[in-house]
Amino acid sequence: MAKKVVDNVGSFYQHYPRIALIVTASYGGKENAMTIAWHMPMSKDPPLIAFVTGTSHFTYKLIKQSGEFAINLLPETHAEIVAAIGGSKGETCDKFATYGIAREKSLKTSAPILADAYAAFECKVVEEKIYDGHSMITGEVVATHIQEGCIWDDGTVNMEKVIPVLYMGSEQYLNIEQANVRTLKRDIYARELKL
């Protein structure tokens, strides 16, 4: 297949779909939530997770002041809330009150935990890298909240119970009615696909 070569990345959506998650933070009686698609686990031991956000965002400012945040994963049934959180500004809108978002008490941080999250991670900031108006924040997970039945014993998401919010970029969300999960053993295919 022919390829076109260009000198920029365009909208940079080539690596989508991605799970859209909600980052929450609280400081000085103020709290907020923001939608993030650029995130990644960094390590299991210690448990580290990172995400990228613009430094002008209200949630970023709360994280800078508090040194902590929470990562919340909502099911696809809540995609509209994920979009609404991403489309509103925390300086002018109490997103929790405006969108009726229920929260639970966190255990080791002040960051709100979303009641409807199938998984949530309370994190303490361990590192930050600034890139021209954007920040990559790495946090160490200090507490994990898991909704019963949503995670298998091996730690993977139980797609029979919950489907993550999948963001395609450009305001598009992927709705998969039924997940077709395949187990592909890496070592087997490493042997079988050799030419």
Query: What predicted TM-score, i.e. pTM, was given to this entire model?
Result: 0.89
CATH number at residue 75: 2.30.110.10
Asked whether residue 4 is domain-assigned, the answer is: no
- How confident is the model at residue 164, as a pLDDT? 94
The 10s digit of each residue's pLDDT in 35-71 is: 999 999 999 999 999 999 999 999 999 999 999 999 9
Confidence category of residue 162, pLDDT binned at 50, 70, 90: very high
Question: b vs e for 116-132, b when ≥16 Cβ sit within 10 Å of the residue's Cβ?
Answer: bbbbbbbbbbeebeeee
Spatial neighbors of 45 by CB under 8 A, at least 6 apart, are none
Asked whether residue 36 is domain-assigned, the answer is: yes
The 10s digit of each residue's pLDDT in 83-96 is: 999 999 999 999 99
Lowest mean pLDDT, pick from 46-50, 82-86, 163-167, 184-188: 184-188
- State the residue range of the domain holding 133: 18-192
Report the range out of 88-92, 99-103, 190-194 with the highest average pLDDT.
99-103
Mean of all residue pLDDT scores within the chain: 92
- How confident is the model at residue 179, as a pLDDT? 66
Asked whether residue 11 is domain-assigned, the answer is: no
Asked whether residue 1 is domain-assigned, the answer is: no
Distance CA 98, CA 44 (A): 36
Asked whether residue 79 is domain-assigned, the answer is: yes
Domain count, the chain: 1
pLDDT at residue 182 is higher than 80: no
Asked whether residue 8 is domain-assigned, the answer is: no
Asked whether residue 57 is domain-assigned, the answer is: yes
Residue keyed to tokens 């954007």: 134
Asked whether residue 13 is domain-assigned, the answer is: no
